[in-house]
Structure 1
Amino acid sequence: MSIPQHSHGLSRRTALRWVAGATTTLGLSAATTTAYAEEQNHAAEEQPQPTLVEQFLSQEQFVIAHRGAGDVNPEHSAYAYQQAILKGAQAVEISVRTTADGELVCMHDNALRRTTTEKTGYVSTSTLAEVKRPLIDMRDFLGPNTPLVHITTLEEALGVILATEAGGPYQSVGGSAVLFIEAKDSAGQPKLLELLTARGMQDQVVIKMFRNGKGGFDGDNGFIRYAKEAGFTTWCYFDAHDSFEDIAQLASSDNVDMLGVPFFETVIGRTEDSMSDEKISQIINLGKPVIVWETHRRWVQEHFASLGVRGFMSPDPFWLSGRTTSPNLALEQGRRLHGMLPAGQQDVVNLPRWENGELVHQQAYDDSILLGPLAHRTSTADSYVINFTMQWKDALPTTTWQYGYLAFGREDDSAFGIAAKFDTTNPRGGGYVLAIRPGASVMDENGSYLSGDVVQLLRVDAGSSDLTPLVTLRPRKPFVAGEDIRGKIIVRPSNIIIDVAGARSTPIADTSYRGPYVHFGRYQDAAHGGALALSNVVTYKI
């Protein structure tokens, strides 16, 4: 009879339960079997237990909440770290900077202007008292109802994290969240090790750093050496243009436990600051776990996992997890929801704004926003309806080729745009575009040109930027700026019906795409027409 094996050893209760079975099965005396079980239980208790970091990294794939899930929370705030854990994050990333009076505060940037109400000044030249005056303000990025919160010291943030009960599928205490912590300035590096060592947090913390922590590739010198000597697990990340030879040199050191590679995207694919798949594959072959950042979208995780990447630094782990949110947008909340992803992640001028319960597309270019919450209802196998309201706020498009749209039926959550801005390399990028076109001059599905206000259903095929008309309708009355345009998209396995502005199509027998992802966009620039607002978005099954 074999002894049951557990990663955390036999408990006394488990051992005694095994004893009872062994006594019956093997005919042993109770005294003999009890003594044997006690001996096995004592031996198991003496074996070293895996640390929190070891347990976390033992997973086939693992996800870290980048900046405390900065796609939905005011980044690097105690509030963000807490909310990420409450939504089930197993690990959070923390960046710290050093104030002029030597205190560690949670901030990514040295300059205060991007993320706070203070538009001048720097952490490094401010005292802690001065840093505490402004509030973290991410309302332009995340919506007007995003809370304003105080900048916190690392000590304060740790106190909040350790007291937080985790949500999601983990149901653990916040003290079991793994922390990836980086000192963004050299002055903070020894202070960080001193603080964490004093608290005995080696089993819970991964020390994160750029290259070897001093900008070089010598893994036996610099901050990497001191972090490892202090007993911490280490993660070194790299620039996209660092040579493979330099990366391999640093990776060969026993002081380096994990490696980090960058990925950044636009609507037409990865940016030049992203590392190539070929180089990432080479780095994976060095044999140490590789983490990619930033992983905003599910398709990014799927793609890099297929290469062998194991770790993902994500600004929204909840979205990556595939767990469901409300299938309606709840725009009246005035906050970005999980899975509401603009094509351009960091540039505020290219982000939509929330205003009076509406999502207002005001970007200079055609960068649509993913309406991720709808994916819960707009799933591949079922029939569903999307009800919506649109309105041009100030002026209609002033050219014949510009329009507002909802793209739907897409198989992945990658960024989406029209024409030259569409990523034609995406083999799963096909779908449909419901285009609302004031003052248009277009070719319809019969090859005839039409002028005036029209509503069209177009198909975009995977690997192509061409738009194929499937049906063209005339609205019941002309489109007018400032007036609502109400519409409905009905999707069944065998056909699609569109019903917009009083014009309803017959069933359109096109079954090419039935993916769950929906995008809202405006195919026009700021110089040719007003902002386009989306509101009252409701989905339901039929």
Structure 2
Amino acid sequence: MIARRQFLGFAAAGAVLGVAGCSACPGSPAPGATARPRPRIVPAASAAKEFVTAGAVAAPGDKGPFTIAALLAAPSFFVAHRGSGDNWPEHTMRAYKGAVASGLKAIEVSVSATSDGVLVCHHDLNTQRLTGIDLTIARAPYAALEPLRNDARAWLGPATPLEPIALLSDVLDAFVASHVIFLEDKPGTNADEILALLEKYPAAREHVVWKQPSASPGHKLAAAKGYTTFGYMVARDQARVPELIPRTDLLGIHYTVPEAMIRQVVASGKPVLAWELHRRSEYARLQDLGVRGFICANIRYVLHQDEPLSEDGFAAGRRGTGDLPWAADAVWDGQPAFADGAVSISSPGQSGYVLGSLAEAVNSADWEYEFELRWPSGLPPDGPGAGVAFGQDGDAPYRPGSAPKVSGYSLDVAADGTLALYRHDAGTTDPVRLAQAGSPAPRAGEWMKFVVSLRPWSIAVRRDGGGTSGWSVSAEDTRYGGAWLTLLKNYDAGPPVEFRGVRVRAVAAQEGCGNVG
């Protein structure tokens, strides 16, 4: 099993408050202070290798064949949710090929039939969300779908290529003999046609898992044909769990269902899979609850397959691996927009955008974040403004104004220039204000540059004013030292806020003194 320490930072207790000054200087602890815990970081290559060693992911160069029996024999295993839609346009050949090339032994494929009987791979029953064209698949001929292109730029960034809608026959030709396919008849009306097509593939029963809601009648048809069945449940099915468990060979639960429901399903003794995972914290929690299979939308990040970045990739127009809005499995409107090397958060409510791509980039007792912030079209109303949460001990979603699941600190920059530092303790709605200081009120369109320093005995934030001058706020709080950073919009409605130039770096012990104005 993969150790939980790979996914979450660890925190230690003890804090002493302070005010602005040169408290960022190392080696000057307040009496009785406890040094900040360092994030316990496992290098990405080592963490990724452990998944291979445990059998959860194929070794580089291993092309299978991977069967259902072999998949279930591993202590844990992963399935690419829609082909891993946080990494590639969902349910496209590009996504399926990318997942397989990343070592996934299993992919998830959703299927609908056109009006003339062509089986296509698409999650929604309508093409509007992914193509911009309003067609109900069951009412449209394939000739109307063939020229359409799946457009995931709103979710993955403007540099994301457009992709055609995949044919089920092409997916089966490419993968059914070598990989496991969790195959879902999405509308629940095409079982006969799908099962008939599968008969053309001699190895189908060893590689295809029939996937539908647990109560679906299609499971009986598939089981009668000799296929392994997978039934999934959501929170509204909680009262029916004892009735639904016997209906299928494998059981699925959404990761948001009550913990008691997860434990009840796991206690059945059947293999349990959870969907849709975007974050390492979700994987760690579900694994602790006894879940063995993980239908993952963000395999490159959860499996540590990409090295962490030291600076954002906003200018490339492609969302970084692990960069996620606080509501990652909701509508695409929660994803910031990319423009001119920056990201813009314009959601109607308070919002957070975790930069998982930068997490664990440094393993040091002294480190800094640098970023720029502006309101391009007007300032927010009086009250909280925007800023960053930092020193967070995990990648759990963080949204201002709600009780956080993750501990850490935050900086708020108000429209009048006030800089305020807070500590956020997981599960507690009201943050602890550590310190605040004034700075000049920003102007609409003006970029402001900030440096956030975490030292063993203090935290400090400087707003640059040109050269080495500026305005600062600091506190001698050492409780948290996690490796995650979240961009914050701390107000409802109002104008959008933009961020750019986000960087993280280790700081030498002699740095940090004399540069706080």
- Both structures adopt the same fold (TM-score exceeding 0.5): yes
Distance 1:493 1:321 in 2: 30
Matched, 1:370 2:354: yes
State the AA in 2 paired with 1:357: G
Are the aligned partners of 1:341 and 1:370 in contact in 2 as well (CA < 8 Å)? yes
Residue by residue, what CA displacement relative to the aligned partner does 1:343-372 show, whole Å, maximum 9, x if unpaired?
123223333111122110101111211110
Other structure's SS at 1:390 match: strand
The residue correspondences of 1:400-439 to structure 2 (distance < 5 A) are 401-419=383-401, 421-423=402-404, 426=405, 429-439=406-416
* Residue 7 (structure 1) aligns with: none
Q: Pick from 284, 290, 301: which aligns with 2:266?
A: 284
TM-aligned CA deviation for residue 494 of structure 1: 2.7
The residue correspondences of 1:303-342 to structure 2 (distance < 5 A) are 303-323=285-305, 324-342=307-325
TM-aligned CA deviation for residue 93 of structure 1: 0.7
Q: Pick from 252, 261, 272: which aligns with 1:260?
A: 252
* Residue 147 (structure 1) aligns with: 161
The residue correspondences of 1:236-275 to structure 2 (distance < 5 A) are 236-244=231-239, 246-253=240-247, 256-263=248-255, 274-275=256-257
Other structure's SS at 2:199 match: helix
Matched, 1:460 2:424: yes
Residue by residue, what CA displacement relative to the aligned partner does 1:18-69 show, whole Å, maximum 9, x if unpaired?
xxxxxxxxxxxxxxxxxxxxxxxxxxxxxxx996222211222212111111
State the AA in 1 paired with 2:403: F
Are the aligned partners of 2:87 and 2:300 in contact in 1 as well (CA < 8 Å)? no
Which structure 1 residue ranges, 5 or more long, are not aligned? 1-48, 163-174, 215-222, 264-273, 440-452
Question: TM-score w.r.t. structure 2 length?
Answer: 0.80
Are the aligned partners of 1:409 and 1:513 in contact in 2 as well (CA < 8 Å)? yes
The residue correspondences of 1:116-515 to structure 2 (distance < 5 A) are 116-118=131-133, 120-161=134-175, 176-200=178-202, 201-214=204-217, 223-244=218-239, 246-253=240-247, 256-263=248-255, 274-323=256-305, 324-345=307-328, 346-377=330-361, 382-399=365-382, 401-419=383-401, 421-423=402-404, 426=405, 429-439=406-416, 453-475=417-439, 477-502=440-465, 503-505=470-472, 508-515=475-482
TM-aligned CA deviation for residue 160 of structure 1: 4.8
TM-aligned CA deviation for residue 507 of structure 1: 6.3
Other structure's SS at 1:294 match: strand
Other structure's SS at 1:226 match: helix
Are the aligned partners of 1:211 and 1:237 in contact in 2 as well (CA < 8 Å)? yes
Distance 2:89 2:473 in 1: 46
Are the aligned partners of 2:80 and 2:107 in contact in 1 as well (CA < 8 Å)? yes
When the two chains are superposed, the root-mean-square deviation of aligned CA atoms in Å is 2.1
State the AA in 1 paired with 2:152: M
Are the aligned partners of 2:84 and 2:95 in contact in 1 as well (CA < 8 Å)? yes
Change (3 A) 1:176 1:512: farther
State the AA in 2 paired with 1:236: G
TM-aligned CA deviation for residue 183 of structure 1: 1.1
* Residue 515 (structure 2) aligns with: none
* Residue 95 (structure 2) aligns with: 80
Are the aligned partners of 1:458 and 1:467 in contact in 2 as well (CA < 8 Å)? yes
* Residue 107 (structure 1) aligns with: 122
Other structure's SS at 1:241 match: helix
Distance 2:178 2:438 in 1: 59
Are the aligned partners of 1:72 and 1:338 in contact in 2 as well (CA < 8 Å)? yes
Change (3 A) 1:50 1:116: closer
TM-aligned CA deviation for residue 506 of structure 1: 7.5
Are the aligned partners of 2:372 and 2:501 in contact in 1 as well (CA < 8 Å)? yes
- Bigger radius of gyration: 1
Other structure's SS at 1:203 match: helix
Distance 2:271 2:178 in 1: 21
Number of equivalenced pairs:
437
State the AA in 2 paired with 1:516: A
Matched, 1:61 2:76: yes
Are the aligned partners of 2:115 and 2:137 in contact in 1 as well (CA < 8 Å)? yes
Residue by residue, what CA displacement relative to the aligned partner does 1:490-533 show, whole Å, maximum 9, x if unpaired?
2223322322133354864221111111100111122x3x2111
Distance 1:51 1:360 in 2: 42
Q: What percentage of residue pairs aligned between the two structures are identical?
A: 29
Distance 2:299 2:224 in 1: 31
Other structure's SS at 2:79 match: strand
Are the aligned partners of 1:413 and 1:517 in contact in 2 as well (CA < 8 Å)? yes
Residue by residue, what CA displacement relative to the aligned partner does 1:245-302 show, whole Å, maximum 9, x if unpaired?
x43234235xx21111123xxxxxxxxxx42111221111111011111222222221
Distance 1:296 1:84 in 2: 14
Residue by residue, what CA displacement relative to the aligned partner does 1:329-353 show, whole Å, maximum 9, x if unpaired?
2111112222111112322333311
Distance 1:188 1:138 in 2: 27
State the AA in 2 paired with 1:208: K
